[in-house]
Structure 1
């Protein structure tokens, strides 16, 4: 095939994919990036196996933290559901960083429990599109499993709204997270909690705006508060993006503060917020959600935090 005939076909494929994405924008706010066709980076290696093969420290008598819990329940949003990691506009929980079974991702549950027990001793109660106000309900479901560890990744959808005005107020975000922790403690008082920080949405914009395909997809309505008019560098657009980033920073401060009040809770110290997702670690369909490779990186961060002798500073 010549270059002249190939390009129109490629444009038609992109247009078709964009039309399908548009149908889901109203239901899901998202994040995305570039990866190989199956979502796995061909250049960057998959998650290293060295982390799970090294000896795991014993529980610390001082902190009471068990670095090798025997069961895992996950709560959160579309990132924890593996949305857009395997196919367009679909959850793919098997590649979830928290409880997935995919051998390339090697989820936190796989690293802690092994491949034999992960299905019977892990549960994924995350819901794509969820915001913090829905977390108490998820926590109540997680508590019924009586897990030894609960993973929390929530907040991106609270900042990813159609406008800055519609973002979840910080006070409401805090109230919902505190209610979530109360729900968990009512049903599973001894469960440990790993809390992931909200990703840096502005860094996502600064990476994806260099790709024309990403900007075409974002223009359909993906995370408009941050990603709308991606090439606009005027004062109003800059202020809008800064406001979103400031709100994400405030959400992360809430996650840290509330978690710090519970001795069985560990916040990641901002590790997910600080992680620099590359094109290969983002979905090729929406340039927002993590690809398989991105999910593997989230699993690595979680495993480091959960198995560390001391929590992040």
Structure 2
């Protein structure tokens, strides 16, 4: 029998195959991308950098817009029946207040990157429009304090219903989110209006100013302590508590919203923290306290 002849592979082809394998081997180890498999194994896990997830809440936003009512406009804090946004808890530049914007951005930054779209006398139904205007600045934080005027009506029957209050706040949040999905929102609770009545009624001047029509559902017949007057004031207080539940619930449904947890409602404003013209709206010192509560909430590591 003839012995099978072994086929000889040219030496040049063998060298080419070795070089090609070496090149492919290097590419397979170092080039990770496209459809290429990344490193695997225990050593690879140790060398892979740990991801740093972006926090949902930024404790240092770089711009602030404010929406709300007369409290955020600094009404009656500087002069009788007059707005004074310079001392607003949210965006004012007064050194006596150190507003939320000043505390977050510094005084120069607050002057350049904060905006106050609150309107004295406004109610929850007005908030969506304010949100739309605030969103045009593309702020990183929107501060909200509204609801007192929804309870401060001619009569308790004229107060905004809880259902309408909820619908208004939900619409305001949708308006903001349609324009700015990632902007943060700070929501302050509505103050305890009955507490303000109990403090302010000690002032004869305050009671006279109340007769001009400031929150008649709570402040009307300020000295009356009969059953009807007591029931009226308790009805207003309960409605404010219901509003605060709505604010907390709607805010909780938005991952970039923080409610103050009832801090403003629970704060016991003293006579020094109320306007000495109407003994109802916050004074300069009261505005400073609102700013402190807001800053504490916004900068907390956890809500």
Distance 2:228 2:151 in 1: 18
Aligned to 2:48: none
Task: Compute the displacement of 1:89 (Å).
Answer: 1.7
Q: Cα deviations across residues 79-128 of structure 1 (Å, max 9, x unaligned)? A: 10111111122111111100010011000000000011111110111011
Which is greater in Rg? 2
User: 1 or 2 for the larger relative contact order (CA 8 Å, sep ≥6)?
Assistant: 1
SS in 2 for 1:119: helix
Distance change (3 Å), C-alpha of 1:164 and 1:61 = farther
Aligned to 1:134: 126
| 2:102 equivalent to 1:104 | no
Moved over 3 A (4+): 60-63
TM-score, normalization by structure 1? 0.79
Gaps of 5+ in 1: 1-59
SS in 2 for 1:245: helix
Q: Cα deviations across residues 148-198 of structure 1 (Å, max 9, x unaligned)? A: 000000000000011101100000000000000000001111100000000
Question: What is the CA RMSD across the aligned residues, in angstroms?
Answer: 1.2
Task: Compute the displacement of 1:289 (Å).
Answer: 1.1
SS in 2 for 1:150: strand
CA contact under 8 A between 1:144 and 1:188: conserved in structure 2?
Answer: no
SS in 2 for 1:118: helix
Task: Compute the displacement of 1:210 (Å).
Answer: 2.4
| 2:290 equivalent to 1:298 | yes
Aligned to 1:146: 138
Aligned to 2:49: none
Aligned to 2:178: 186
Aligned to 2:269: 277
Give the alignment partner of residue 67 of structure 1, picking from 59, 63, 83: 59
CA contact under 8 A between 1:63 and 1:263: conserved in structure 2?
Answer: no
Aligned to 2:250: 258
Aligned to 2:7: none
Equivalent residue pairs, number:
252
125-134 vs 210-219, greater mean Cα deviation: 210-219
CA contact under 8 A between 2:132 and 2:175: conserved in structure 1?
Answer: yes
TM-score, normalization by structure 2? 0.81
CA contact under 8 A between 1:272 and 1:298: conserved in structure 2?
Answer: yes
Give the alignment partner of residue 87 of structure 2, picking from 67, 83, 95: 95
Aligned to 1:39: none
SS in 2 for 1:251: helix
Distance 2:254 2:269 in 1: 30
CA contact under 8 A between 1:215 and 1:230: conserved in structure 2?
Answer: yes
SS in 2 for 1:174: helix
Task: Compute the displacement of 1:61 (Å).
Answer: 4.9
SS in 2 for 1:193: strand
